[in-house]
Amino acid sequence: MNTSADHSLQLVPEVHPGTMNGRTKTGLAWVSVGILALLTIALGADTPHLIGWLGFLAIIVGTLVISSNWLSESPGIKNNHIMFGSATRRGMVAWSLGIFMTGFYVVLYFEPTYLSRVIALVDPLKIAISGESAIGSDGSVSQWFLYGFLYTIAVLVMGIRAIIKYRHSRYQVVRTSSVMFFQLGFAFLIPNILLKLNQPYYEWTNIWPLRYYELFPSEATHLANSGTIGMVMLTWGIASILILTPVLTYFFGKRWYCSWVCGCGGLAETLGDPFRQNSSKTLASWKLERWLIYSVLGLILLTTALLWLDHLWGFLGTTAGTFAKGYGFLIGAIFSGVIGTGFYPIFGSRVWCRFGCPMAAILGLIQRFFSRFRITTNGSQCISCGNCSTYCEMGIDVRWYAQRGQDIVRASCVGCGVCSSVCPRGVLQLEMGPKETRKMVV
């Protein structure tokens, strides 16, 4: 016999962590077929290139089919077993994904010859855009076009997913469109088109010290010797860090760069979005974050200074070059590339931005001590649900501030606005105002 209690239980939808609907299964089937097609190319089977391109297409279509699940649900984040899912909470699926992504990055960075067939697959596109081939006459291959191509596709496709998911928030829609625009135009197409015009390759959105070699003497001299456009690039690079960065960060906080323009941030906000809840909120990780990020900043300042001293006066022997090589390998490749992206499924989407990026360190210092930006909290409305803290990709315990009615002015906050978008009570607002009006305990 049904009691009223039994009846109320039946009204609760039966959703289990491992459950997949038909659409997800179809999408996963498309993605699997696409990966299989690309693997046959990579492993050297005599497969026509058309199959490889259809493989890319299948992965894109499959991802969009899975993403379309969000259309049939109300927009915004759902707490539907996200902390129990194998993919979303460091289960087997997440670890497998992390190992796959890390392994792929290691091969791409250090042994690209294993990917030479995939590089050859996209080479016609590279030739069409940049006028150059990635394959040298001696058979050597350059992996960087393939890298940029995959990176851009990931930002665009997962960007569409993010727009669908956060369609209730104009801020999120415009912000996501912005990172997609800058990645496609200024970090991928324009630098390659410049090559076709016999100009230096230049990623306009990567500012020193994120693009750490940009102000090294070798690169600066190369740009200075590359005619008018080279001088424009060099001037833009110097002005970006000395003028643009302080001015825009003063007015808007670090979000103008980290959440609207930067390619690393773009990938984190799109490809990394399904894993944002995995960022650690412990005090220990906050401490580690400060130690690491400012150490990396110190290291790149020292490396750049040593290189210039050596360039101008030449008394340092091999020291400066060794520093530059060490930084390039440990920070430029391993930290920002392999760990920064490969570990998304385990440590959350902003591992690099939070613990390593020296540009984020500079932006953060300006934001914390000088900027007009803050997130205001209407503490009396907070129901302590914790959505904001859970989904803060920078590991900030937003709820702690909300419960106390304090403004959030943290160096690490990238102003993604997701805490505000997921708050069911409208407690959090991204605002600007005179620094003196901040409500915070120092």
Selected range binding ligand SF4 among 152-160, 204-212, 339-347, 420-428, rule: CB under 6 A: 420-428
374 sits near ligand SF4 (criterion: CB under 6 A)? no
User: Which residue in the block uniquely carries the two structure tokens 């385990």?
Assistant: 346
Identity of the residue, 337 or 415, whose beta carbon is nearer to ligand SF4 in the bound complex: 415
Q: How far apart are CA 397 and CA 386, in angstroms?
A: 9
Q: Report the relative pairing of strands 428-432 and 373-377 from DSSP bridges.
A: antiparallel
268 sits near ligand SF4 (criterion: CB under 6 A)? no
- Shortest distance, CB of residue 430 to ligand SF4, whole angstroms? 7
Q: How many CB atoms lie within 10 A of CB 376?
A: 21
Residue 200's SS3 state is coil
Residue 269: DSSP 8-state: H
189, 385, 405, 429: which one binds ligand SF4 (CB under 6 A): 385
Structure tokens of 13?
């939808």
59, 154, 162, 427: which one binds ligand SF4 (CB under 6 A): 427
Identity of the residue, 261 or 375, whose beta carbon is nearer to ligand SF4 in the bound complex: 375
Site for ligand SF4 in 66-85 (CB under 6 A): none
87, 408, 409, 411: which one binds ligand SF4 (CB under 6 A): 408
By the 8 A CB rule, do 304 and 291 touch? no
Q: To 5 degrees, how large is the angle CA 64–CA 66–CA 68?
A: 70
160 sits near ligand SF4 (criterion: CB under 6 A)? no
Angle between helices 116-130 and 22-42 (to 10 degrees): 90
Max distance between CA atoms of the chain, in angstroms, equals: 92
162 sits near ligand SF4 (criterion: CB under 6 A)? no
Q: How far apart are CA 411 and CA 139, in angstroms?
A: 47
Q: How many residues lie near ligand SF4 (CB under 6 A)? A: 28
Q: How many CB atoms lie within 10 A of CB 16?
A: 8
192, 220, 399, 411: which one binds ligand SF4 (CB under 6 A): 399
User: What's phi and psi for 15, nearest 5 deg?
Assistant: -120, 125
- Kindly report the length of the chain: 442
**CA distance readout (Å), 171 to 168, 201, 306:** 9, 32, 42
440 sits near ligand SF4 (criterion: CB under 6 A)? no
Structure tokens of 371?
């900027």
Identity of the residue, 152 or 367, whose beta carbon is nearer to ligand SF4 in the bound complex: 367
20, 243, 383, 440: which one binds ligand SF4 (CB under 6 A): 383
396 sits near ligand SF4 (criterion: CB under 6 A)? yes
262 sits near ligand SF4 (criterion: CB under 6 A)? no
**Residues 6+ positions from 346 with CB-CB distance below 8 Å:** 90, 94, 95, 98, 275, 278
The per-residue b/e assignment along 272-308, b for 16 or more CB within 10 angstroms, e otherwise, is bbbbbbbbebeeeebeebeeebeebbebbeebbebbe
398, 406, 407, 411: which one binds ligand SF4 (CB under 6 A): 398
83 alpha-carbon distance from chain centroid: 22
Identity of the residue, 134 or 394, whose beta carbon is nearer to ligand SF4 in the bound complex: 394
Selected range binding ligand SF4 among 235-243, 299-307, 327-335, 391-399, rule: CB under 6 A: 391-399
187 sits near ligand SF4 (criterion: CB under 6 A)? no
- Shortest distance, CB of residue 30 to ligand SF4, whole angstroms? 32
415 sits near ligand SF4 (criterion: CB under 6 A)? yes
**Start-to-end C-alpha separation, the chain:** 61
285, 386, 405, 429: which one binds ligand SF4 (CB under 6 A): 386
- Shortest distance, CB of residue 344 to ligand SF4, whole angstroms? 16
319 sits near ligand SF4 (criterion: CB under 6 A)? no
User: What's phi and psi for 374, nearest 5 deg?
Assistant: -160, 160
254 sits near ligand SF4 (criterion: CB under 6 A)? no
Selected range binding ligand SF4 among 34-42, 85-93, 179-187, 425-433, rule: CB under 6 A: 425-433
Selected range binding ligand SF4 among 192-200, 263-271, 339-347, 421-429, rule: CB under 6 A: 421-429
439 sits near ligand SF4 (criterion: CB under 6 A)? no
363 sits near ligand SF4 (criterion: CB under 6 A)? no
Nearest Cα neighbor of 221 from 207, 210, 237, 241 is 237
Q: Which residues bind ligand SF4 (CB under 6 A)?
A: 375, 382-388, 392-394, 396, 398-399, 402, 408, 413-419, 423-425, 427-428
